[in-house]
Amino acid sequence: MMHGALISIKAALTQLKPQERIVAEYILDNPELTVKMSVQKLAQTTGVSEATIVRLSRSLRFKGYQELKMRIVADLAQTSRTAMETDAYQEIQLNGMVSTLIDSISHNNMQSIQDTLSVLSAEEVEKAIEKLGKARKICIFGVGASAVIAEDFMQKLTRIARWCTAAFDFNTQATYAALLQEGDVAFGISYSGQTEDVIRSLGIAKENGACVISLTKFGSNPISDLADIRLFTSSMEKSIRSGAMASRITQLNVIDILYVGVAQVDYEENVNMLEKTRKAVAISKRNTRTD
């Protein structure tokens, strides 16, 4: 995917170092001018060193300034300037009409998924699918809203006979992590990337040789910095952040991608497993057929 530079900058803005942030804000305000500038000219214009611009590019997961410019060009080609100047996310009006609520929340969820496509690396997703598909054991860690995502992923992987468990508090996470070894996977989910329990648990898993996969918001954070494979989402909804609304939808979308990716590695066998598990739980479902 050759666009996504502007979304990446917006998502990482608050985590950048002061000098890097000066450049980032200039780029967001002047993307058309930026793509015409050499690294020397941009450094002179923003009053920073050329090394700062290179560091910024790499902080955004690009190889260098030239790739950053190429991605900005692609952004400009994909989206009109008017759309870029308008915040794509809608403010949620808690006292508004129900029809407005439906439109705003649905719009923000779809926008978050679209933005995530700009920061989610296909290469990293492929690596994650390979590791998950071959893992002896998979432990998924999440706290709070992320625990819901972790439980969903565990349920999906269990249905295709992957040895998988999920833990939602530090004591349980640490216990599982201590028993992992090379060939196992510890999968940490935290939108902020700063959940202390998950950081500590992943650290224990890594010390024991497990592959660490992270699912966090885009940018540098303690959990993604710890991971061997980094998966990112993007959600910049403007309000009710404690509800983790659009960010939760983007995480579930990535989980679905990983699940289907793992399932298709051995498609016939996994279809059989899904059918077996479906039949096993079918008896618990109420028979609503009428004669």
Which pLDDT value is given to residue 114?
A: 85
Question: Full-prediction pTM beyond 0.85?
Answer: no
Mean pLDDT of the chain: 86
DSSP string, the chain: ----HHHHHHHHGGGS-HHHHHHHHHHHH-HHHHTT--HHHHHHHHTS-HHHHHHHHHHTT-SSHHHHHHHHHHHHHHS-HHHHHS-SSPPP-TTS-HHHHHHHHHHHHHHHHHHHHHH--HHHHHHHHHHHHH-S-EEEE--THHHHHHHHHHHHHHTTT--EEEE-SHHHHHHHHHT--TT-EEEEE-SSS--HHHHHHHHHHHHTTPEEEEEEESS--HHHHH-SEEEEE-----S-GGG-HHHHHHHHHHHHHHHHHHHGGGHHHHHHHHHHHHHHHHTTS------
The answer, yes or no, to whether residue 240 has pLDDT greater than 50, is no
The answer, yes or no, to whether residue 213 has pLDDT greater than 90, is yes
Which pLDDT value is given to residue 173?
A: 97
The answer, yes or no, to whether residue 139 has pLDDT greater than 70, is yes
The answer, yes or no, to whether residue 92 has pLDDT greater than 80, is no
